Amino acid sequence: MKAAREAPVARRILLAPMEGLLDHYLRDTLTQVGGVDRCVSEFIRVTDRLLPVRTFHRAVPELHNGSRTRAGTPVRAQLLGSDPACLADNAAVLAGLGAEGIDLNFGCPARTVNRHRGGAVLLDEPDLLHAIVAAVRRAVPAGLPVSAKMRLGNLDEARMIECAQAIDTAGADELVVHARTKAQGYRPPAYWDRLALIREAVAVPVVANGEIWTVDDARRCLRESGCDAVMLGRGMVADPGLALALRDPGRAELAWPELLPHVADYWASLAADFPARHRAGRLKQWFDLLRRRHPEAQTAWDLIRTIEDPARVTELLFAGM
């Protein structure tokens, strides 16, 4: 009888940014839950100028705390743009502010970003990817990590290996790959097997990303890709205990009573910076994903779906805490 195949293990777990949702408020809350090795900030758009320091602090307030969340989880600042010299200059400023590292966005599929020559459309220009990574690498201290995130391509996978090799040979320390093209967006499935081809073609460590919602998904992803690290996005927003479960597959699923104090903490954190009229909308965005995994979140969603008054939301969801 053959021995059972040992389940692959994620040796590192990264938390992805999600523009407009998984920002510093939510990454602070999710890292309090635990299991995450490192976060990446929402992208900071760089065009043709040096950005003011306040822009970096607004996107990565953890710079005031040694580039770490309250839980002590490192946060890497992400830049998006197409001008190598300008990206390098801004990366140097971030390094001086104490950034944990610099991440470069070559994967964003948003039309508004792509229309202005940013994100995944750059995957049609491997030489430019190389120039950007090389310029940033030269601009920051040798010990400061420079990483990049890409997709399998823009409209297709034709230049997938060429892009990965361009990033690798330019001096990146790590490459995260979302296992879909820009054209495929976020539609299932993710093509994790393609990451195995990229891994064979580069020397830099490759991190798998895309369509990882459960422990079983992560195991299949690791097995098909051959990677030993994953980046979680929507899967961890929907199931904040996912990273912990990947660390310890025998662990019981994070129950709603354990999660609710973290949700309350997130809700309280929004009060400092969000106008009252926008606060409930941010919470509803999170509940929209949470209800995929937690029936209680569906109940909460139904309670507050039409409510905008923060005091009423607090009364309905958190009054007994």
Q: What is the DSSP string of 90-121?
A: HHHHHHHTT-S-EEEEE----HHHHHTT-GGG
Q: What is the C-alpha to C-alpha distance for residues 84 and 292, in angstroms, rounded to an integer?
A: 41
The residues spanned by each domain of the chain are 12-247, 256-318
Q: What is the C-alpha to C-alpha distance for residues 142 and 150, in angstroms, rounded to an integer?
A: 23
> Tens of pLDDT along 81-98?
999 999 999 999 999 999
Catalytic annotation present for 163: no
Which amino acid appears at position 202 of this protein? Answer: V
Contacts of 255 (CB under 8 A, 6+ apart): none
Q: What is the C-alpha to C-alpha distance for residues 213 and 292, in angstroms, rounded to an integer?
A: 10
- Of 108, 163, 221, 227, the catalytic one is 108
Q: What is the C-alpha to C-alpha distance for residues 47 and 113, in angstroms, rounded to an integer?
A: 11
Q: How many residues does the chain have?
A: 321
pLDDT (mean) for 56-64: 97
**How many Cβ atoms are within 10 Å of 61's Cβ, its own excluded?**
17
Cα 272 off chain centre by: 24
Q: Report the CATH superfamily, name and number, of domain 12-247.
A: Aldolase class I (3.20.20.70)
> Tens of pLDDT along 153-210?
999 999 999 999 999 999 999 999 999 999 999 999 999 999 999 999 999 999 999 9
Q: Could you tell me what percent of the chain has a pLDDT over 90?
A: 88
Banded pLDDT at 5 (limits 50, 70, 90): low
Q: What is the C-alpha to C-alpha distance for residues 98 and 259, in angstroms, rounded to an integer?
A: 32
